[in-house]
Amino acid sequence: MNSFWIILTGSLVAATCGFLGCFLILRRMAMLGDAISHAILPGIAIAFLLTGGRDSIAMLVGAAVIGLLTVFLIQLFHQSGVKSDAAIGVTFTALFAIGVVLISLYGSHIDLDLDCVLYGEIAYVPWDTLVINGAEWGPRAVWGLGIIFIISLLVVGLFFKQFKICTFDPAMAAAIGIPVALFHYLLMGLVSMATVASFESVGAILVVAMMVVPSATAYLLTDRLPVMLGLSMLIGVLCSILGYSLATWLDSSIAGSMTVVAGLLFLISFLFSPRYGLVSKWQVRRQIKLELE
């Protein structure tokens, strides 16, 4: 039963992140996702210090606020003349450093340590259960992640057309009257919430892996956005199952193993994707060469 809960949590993390990650990589903002996932650390730490426990709602709000603040700061620095990649680098390292200092100084008073922040502890998820009126309702992480997952699906589903246009042609979106900035910040808010919901399970840094790797894999396999969204969620679930097996075999971090599996899946599609794979491109080239001769 524990394995089931762990795999389910991993799948939810990977599916939520992969789903939102598609938009990030299509808009060339993968590093912004990386920045957000680092930068929410002080939000988490402050929420921990203020509430003294893992009150999920306070943490969600704190992290979402810090996430949006990060995006805003990056934009601000960029507008005041700093190159965008440098603006990202300056902002997230500074916020992350604040988070690490807070945790190192006060970490002994609260139930939070740096290892957990960095690579999470998905193995403990089944024991932290949600109890209502004395009845157990399954792991809390599963509930939190499930809710975020459904919210993301709903928001993106409701405004699918708008998100799609904003992603592929922001100038046109602005021209036909779609509030591009609003959807930008909406997406960033969702990314921040997904990150904070996932961080306990996979850690702040590996959230990025779950955002970028499955969606990049899906990007190599299809040209259609809905298919890409579905595929990246599917790949995420696959990562969770295979990653768990790898971790039990090696006796190592589950989140790390999920990333390794995701990397392997990417490698496979990089080499063998029917249209964009290295091998298939090579074959096409050989075919043409033969025909010419």
Partner 1 sequence: MNWLQVLQDPNTQWVLAGCILLGISSGVLGSFAFLRGRSLMGDALAHAALPGVCLVFLLTGSKSIGFFLVGAAISGLLATYCITMITKHSRIKEDTALALNLSVFFGIGIVLLTYIQHSDSGNQSGLDKFLFGQAASLVGSDVNTMIAVSSVLLIITALLFKEFKLLSFDQGFGKGLGFPMGFLDGLLMVMLLMSVVIGLQAVGVVLMAAMLITPAVTARYWTNKLSTMVILSGLFGALSGAFGTLLSTQIQNLPTGPIIVLGSTTLFLFSLLFSPKRGILFRFLRFMQVRKKVLHQDILRSLYDVMEDSKKENSIPASFFSVERLAIKSGKQAQTVEKALRTLLKKGWVTQDKEDPQKWGFNQKGLHVAHSLVLNQRLWDLFQMHEQNFHGYTIDQSEEEIIPQLNGVQLEMMLKELEHHNMTPTLVAIQSYKIANHTPDQGGVTA
Q: Tell whether the torsion through CA atoms of 128, 132, 138 and 142 is positive or negative.
A: negative
Asked if 230 interacts with partner 1 (CB under 8 A), we say no
Comparing CA positions, the residue from 198, 49, 152 lying closest to residue 109 is 49
For the chain, the C-alpha Rg in angstroms (whole number) is 20
Q: Least distance in Å: CB of 246 to partner 1?
A: 8
Cα–Cα–Cα angle for 228, 6, 117, rounded to 5 degrees: 85
| CA–CA dist 43, 96 (Å, integer) | 10
- Asked if residue 149 lies in contact with residue 190, where contact means CB atoms within 8 angstroms, the answer is no
**Residue from 81, 134, 157, 177 that binds partner 1 (CB under 8 A)?**
81
DSSP string of 210-248?
HHHHHHHHHHHH-S-HHHHHHHHHHHHHHHHHHHHHHHH
Q: Tokens at residue 155, please?
A: 């928001």
Asked if 31 interacts with partner 1 (CB under 8 A), we say yes
Cβ nearer to partner 1, comparing 122 with 141: 122
- Stretch in the footprint of partner 1 (CB under 8 A) among 6-14, 58-66, 191-199, 210-218: 210-218
| CA–CA dist 1, 204 (Å, integer) | 26
Cβ nearer to partner 1, comparing 94 with 151: 94
**Residue from 89, 138, 146, 189 that binds partner 1 (CB under 8 A)?**
89
Q: Please, which residues have CB within 8 angstroms of residue 263's CB and are 6 or more apart in sequence?
A: 209, 213
Asked if 244 interacts with partner 1 (CB under 8 A), we say no
**Residue from 187, 205, 218, 229 that binds partner 1 (CB under 8 A)?**
205
Cβ nearer to partner 1, comparing 101 with 284: 101
Q: Which residues of 238-260 are buried (b: 16+ CB within 10 A; e: fewer)?
A: bbbbbbbebbeeeeebbbbbbbb
**Residue from 159, 185, 270, 272 that binds partner 1 (CB under 8 A)?**
270
Q: Least distance in Å: CB of 222 to partner 1?
A: 12
Asked if 90 interacts with partner 1 (CB under 8 A), we say yes
Q: Least distance in Å: CB of 60 to partner 1?
A: 23
Asked if 130 interacts with partner 1 (CB under 8 A), we say no
Cβ nearer to partner 1, comparing 28 with 289: 28
CB atoms within 10 A of CB 162: 18
Q: Least distance in Å: CB of 139 to partner 1?
A: 21
Asked if 67 interacts with partner 1 (CB under 8 A), we say no
What one-character DSSP code corresponds to residue 111? T
Question: Which residues contribute to the site for partner 1 (CB under 8 A)?
Answer: 25, 28-31, 33-34, 38, 77, 80-83, 85-86, 88-90, 93-94, 96-98, 100-101, 104-105, 107-108, 114-115, 118-119, 203, 205-206, 208-209, 211-213, 216, 219-220, 247, 250-253, 255-260, 262-263, 266, 270, 276, 278, 281
